[in-house]
């Protein structure tokens, strides 16, 4: 066997997992990173919008503290503002929900009582914490987080709103809005799809979520610049990975490679090892023809079982703000809704009701007057099929309804993400779906061939956010997974070579 220097490694996908793997591999001379699209970063994607920037994908470093590798790397590159560096911010236990000054609009066009809204939020947070505590339960009473929450809410209905009918309905409507927010966080259509027992395995790091003043993409940009020139090849979509084979470069029969990576443009790359970091959404759609021979059944099952859903953003730029300067979140509540009622399935008529509301981009001096709306699930996927004009006019109607101001000026411009339609992503991020468990994440992360005695080990390695058991769906999960697989190969390269066979 040869040392690491002559082994050829191909990394597929230049998101944080792929770039992290490339960064840590000790065989740079023969490393290629193939990226399907025209840019590195993947689901980290900053675009210019209004007078500032819009994060189409990741927005925050969740839990920026010394245990977060994205925080450490961004600090190392000098990409974060002074607030993120403050130690007291790094110690805040926000549990993934930093408290921001907010206002809640109801669908009757009035501002809802902050006290009533807060009561419902406190109840929801308590129930969510008890859902997380179901982790390890041998036989949870119900399979999904959604069913669990509904059962708990049902028990409390008589006491909600002090037993008064209108107040009770308002509490239920706010709880329905909380469930939609949770769908955005989990990247799912419904919390009924999210498995209850493993829900508590996801780990939130301490630290007050922070953003990148120069855009999140400044991080992958720095990572690309630190790699030897020519390592990252853009517009190089991989079509098929043939493994367990015997491939030779033309005119060189002496060197045998187990893997051939074929790109959509016909180019091929021979390799000893391939680190696959493509999103789970892409794998779900393509794994059957993407790998030749196909993946072992257990891995294919894990890909099928794990969840991968959609969460999108809609950015709206206004000439003048209609909100107060201190407000950072505008929450939307449809007052006739309840978690205990079946949601409408008429997407065309009701898709916009899945929108949870808007975040105000800060600071306005940098961004202009920009709101960022969030919408998850099938309604979000439906939104992707509409034209920009349709989305903008619907958003104008929604805001006029919520504020009760029928003359509210329409936004000046609009930008939205379309992660479900993106052919090399097919959604936003992963979750542990009903019928799967954290073990499926570990199965997905297992390298192939499975046989440890195989003379050509670690042909296919798997990284990406969906392969991290406790930090899935995050940038730090993605980065750590890339480092993990690079380290696996580095250990193989450093291992003493077996004695030559005589």
Q: Which residues bind ligand FAD (CB under 6 A)?
A: 12-18, 34-37, 42-44, 57-60, 62, 237-238, 277-279, 282, 311, 313, 417, 419, 424-425, 428-429, 464-465, 473-475, 478
* Tokens, residue 372: 């960022």
Q: Give yes or no for a contact between 340 and 407, defined as CB atoms under 8 angstroms apart.
A: no
What's the rounded Cα separation, in Å, for the pair 271 and 10?
6
What's the rounded Cα separation, in Å, for the pair 279 and 463?
9
Nearer to ligand FAD (CB atom), residue 18 or residue 373? 18
Nearer to ligand FAD (CB atom), residue 171 or residue 425? 425
Closest distance of CB 214 from ligand FAD, Å: 16
Closest distance of CB 498 from ligand FAD, Å: 33
Written in H, E and C, the secondary structure of 201-265 is HCCCCCCCCECCCCCCCHHHHHHHHCCCCCCEECCCCEEEEECCCCEEECCEEEEEECEEEEECC
DSSP line for 275-303: EE---HHHHHHHHHHHEESPPPHHHHHHH
Nearer to ligand FAD (CB atom), residue 41 or residue 198? 41
Closest distance of CB 349 from ligand FAD, Å: 25
Closest distance of CB 295 from ligand FAD, Å: 15
Nearer to ligand FAD (CB atom), residue 37 or residue 171? 37
What's the rounded Cα separation, in Å, for the pair 203 and 480?
14
Cβ neighbours, 10 Å, residue 55? 22
Closest distance of CB 403 from ligand FAD, Å: 25
Strand pairing category for 369-376 and 357-360? antiparallel
Nearer to ligand FAD (CB atom), residue 148 or residue 308? 308
188 DSSP assignment = -
Q: Give yes or no for a contact between 223 and 11, defined as CB atoms under 8 angstroms apart.
A: no
Nearer to ligand FAD (CB atom), residue 277 or residue 436? 277
Closest distance of CB 196 from ligand FAD, Å: 22
Closest distance of CB 479 from ligand FAD, Å: 8
Nearer to ligand FAD (CB atom), residue 145 or residue 445? 445
């Amino acid at each position: 066997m040869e040392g690491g220097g002559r082994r050829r490694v191909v990394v597929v996908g230049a998101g944080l997992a792929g770039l992290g793997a490339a960064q840590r591999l000790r065989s740079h001379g023969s490393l290629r990173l193939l990226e399907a699209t025209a840019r590195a970063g993947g689901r980290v994607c900053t675009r210019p919008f209004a007078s500032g920037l819009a994060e189409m994908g990741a927005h925050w470093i969740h839990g920026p503290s010394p245990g977060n590798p994205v925080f450490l790397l961004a600090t190392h590159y000098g990409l974060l503002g002074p607030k993120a560096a403050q130690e007291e911010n790094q110690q805040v236990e926000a549990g993934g929900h930093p408290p921001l000054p907010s206002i809640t609009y109801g669908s009757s066009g009035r501002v809802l009582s902050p006290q009533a809204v807060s009561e419902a939020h406190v109840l929801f947070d308590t129930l969510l914490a008890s859902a997380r505590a179901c982790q390890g339960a041998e036989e949870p009473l119900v399979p999904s987080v959604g069913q669990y929450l509904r059962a708990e809410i049902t028990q409390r209905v008589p006491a909600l709103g002090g037993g008064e009918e209108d107040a009770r309905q308002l509490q239920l409507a706010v709880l329905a809005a909380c469930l939609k927010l949770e769908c955005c966080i989990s990247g799912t259509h419904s919390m009924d799809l999210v498995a209850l027992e493993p829900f508590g395995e996801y780990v939130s790091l301490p630290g007050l979520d922070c953003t990148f003043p120069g855009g999140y993409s400044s991080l992958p940009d720095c990572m690309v610049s630190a790699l030897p020139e020519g390592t990252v090849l853009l517009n190089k979509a991989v079509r098929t990975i043939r493994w367990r084979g015997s491939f030779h470069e033309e005119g060189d029969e002496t060197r045998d490679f187990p893997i051939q990576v074929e790109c959509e443009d016909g180019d091929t790359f021979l390799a000893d090892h391939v680190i696959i970091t493509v999103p789970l959404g892409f794998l779900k759609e393509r794994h059957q023809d993407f790998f030749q021979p196909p993946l072992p059944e257990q891995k294919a099952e894990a890909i099928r079982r794990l969840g991968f859903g959609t969460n999108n953003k809609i950015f709206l730029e206004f000439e003048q703000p209609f909100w107060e300067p201190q407000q950072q979140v505008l929450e939307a509540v449809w007052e006739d809704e309840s978690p205990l009622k079946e949601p409408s399935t008429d997407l065309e008529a009701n898709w916009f009701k899945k929108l949870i509301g808007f975040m105000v981009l800060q600071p306005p001096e940098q961004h202009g007057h920009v709101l960022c709306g969030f919408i998850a699930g099938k309604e979000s996927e439906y939104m992707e099929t509409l034209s920009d004009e349709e989305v903008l006019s619907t958003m104008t109607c929604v805001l006029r309804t919520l504020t009760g101001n029928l003359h509210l000026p329409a936004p000046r411009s609009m930008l939205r993400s379309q992660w479900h339609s993106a052919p090399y992503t097919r959604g936003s991020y992963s979750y542990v779906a009903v019928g799967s468990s954290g073990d499926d994440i570990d199965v997905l992360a297992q390298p192939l061939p499975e046989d440890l005695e195989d003379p050509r080990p670690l042909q296919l390695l798997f990284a990406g956010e969906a392969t991290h058991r406790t930090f899935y769906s995050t940038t730090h999960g993605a980065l750590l997974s890339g480092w993990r697989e690079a380290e696996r190969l580095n250990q193989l390269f450093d291992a003493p070579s077996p004695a030559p066979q005589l």
